[in-house]
Amino acid sequence: MAGRYAVPEDGERLSDGFKHEQMFVLNAPDTDRFRALTGDSGLFLTDVGFYPDAAGHYRARPAGSSAAILLYVRKGRGIVQIPERTVRLSADEALVIPPGTPHIYFADREEPWSLFWVHAGGAALSGYLTSSGKRKLTGPGAAQRMEMYFEMIFQTLQEGLTDGNFRYLDRLLQTVFAEVFWREEADRTAGSNPVVSQIIRYFYRNLGRMLTLADLSEETGLSVSRISALFRKYTGSAPLVFFTRLKMERACYLLRTSTMNVGEVAQELGFADPYYFSRVFTRVVGQSPRAYRSSPV
């Protein structure tokens, strides 16, 4: 698997331990339970993580992995070596290493990657492995969506390894893979924007509040008009409309996987009036909270 890119020296090689990293590794019994719940049409994960500014990152698996490995570079660069091929990944590029494929991958020395990664298996994998090679995610909001999906994965794992959470993670994983392989973007020239990413992370930290544009201005140090313009450019949505959709995604999750009643879900998401919450949910989702909870998965 030798390529023209220099493999890091032994002293530089780190498999993990990066500042501010996020990582979850399921044990064998939980992995088996997750696999069983996905049945013959889903995806399950065994490991998932995010390594920011991962200088010295290096992994080598001469026999490959039993799972498929999705690598998504948020910024920086890195190199992946697989039999007969060396692939250089840059910001907002993704690659899937199929199960059983020998590989080495490592961060670029001058500009080390910030890397989202997940090890996944399941019957649905075959539908995502028919297209080989790296994929570039360049459409409006693509980077923000991927960050959002991974943040939802991390948050769900933190909340507990319940059957309901595993089923929800199955859907999230399929969304991540579909974003990489199937989504067609209308505009391939637009990039991502760090301010928009900052605001989306801020949204996630504050799903239980009713934020205003003034709050976003205080968080970013930019004017309300500048924030609104940037957000529309890179996501196609007004900031608070986007925030409301995130709240309703969270509401859907809580309605499916918890025993909280509608009023409790409303309160969890910062709505003082459960009737107003129900109206917003119905407008965004297309059915009432109670109808959504009782509808087939």
11-67 pLDDT tens trace: 567 777 888 889 999 999 999 999 998 877 789 999 999 999 999 999 999 999 999
Residue 227 Cα distances to 25, 209, 235, angstroms:
37, 19, 12
Q: Note the pLDDT of residue 10.
A: 55
- CA angle centred on 189, ends 225 and 204, rounded to 5°: 50
pTM for the predicted model, two decimal places: 0.62
pLDDT band at 296 (very low <50, low <70, confident <90, very high): low
Q: Which residues pair with 85 in a beta bridge?
A: 82
What domains appear along the chain, each with residue ranges and CATH number? 10-137 (2.60.120.10), 194-294 (1.10.10.60)
The residues, ordered by sequence, that sit 6+ positions from 12 with a Cβ below 8 Å of its Cβ are 55, 56, 58
CA distance 167 to 22: 21
pLDDT band at 72 (very low <50, low <70, confident <90, very high): very high
Q: Is it the case that residue 156 has pLDDT exceeding 80?
A: yes
Q: Note the pLDDT of residue 2.
A: 39
- Residue 98's closest CA among 69, 60, 58? 69
Q: Note the pLDDT of residue 271.
A: 96
| Mean pLDDT to the nearest integer, 63-79 | 93
Q: At what angle do helices 239-257 and 224-235 cross, to 10 degrees?
A: 60
Q: Is it the case that residue 112 has pLDDT exceeding 80?
A: yes
CA distance 37 to 164: 9
The percentage of the chain sitting over the pLDDT mark of 70, rounded to a whole number, equals 90
pLDDT band at 164 (very low <50, low <70, confident <90, very high): confident
Q: Note the pLDDT of residue 187.
A: 38
Q: Answer whether 118's CB lies under 8 Å from 112's CB.
A: no
Q: Note the pLDDT of residue 186.
A: 39
Q: Note the pLDDT of residue 286.
A: 83
Q: Note the pLDDT of residue 231.
A: 87
Q: Is it the case that residue 80 has pLDDT exceeding 90?
A: yes
pLDDT band at 5 (very low <50, low <70, confident <90, very high): very low
CA distance 274 to 282: 12
Which one has a higher pLDDT value, 206 or 124?
206
Query: Assign residue 138 a region: left if phi > 0, alpha if psi is -120 to 50, beta otherwise?
Result: alpha
Q: Note the pLDDT of residue 51.
A: 93
- Residue 198's closest CA among 171, 225, 172, 235? 235
pLDDT band at 185 (very low <50, low <70, confident <90, very high): very low
pLDDT band at 144 (very low <50, low <70, confident <90, very high): confident
Q: Note the pLDDT of residue 23.
A: 92
Q: Note the pLDDT of residue 117.
A: 95
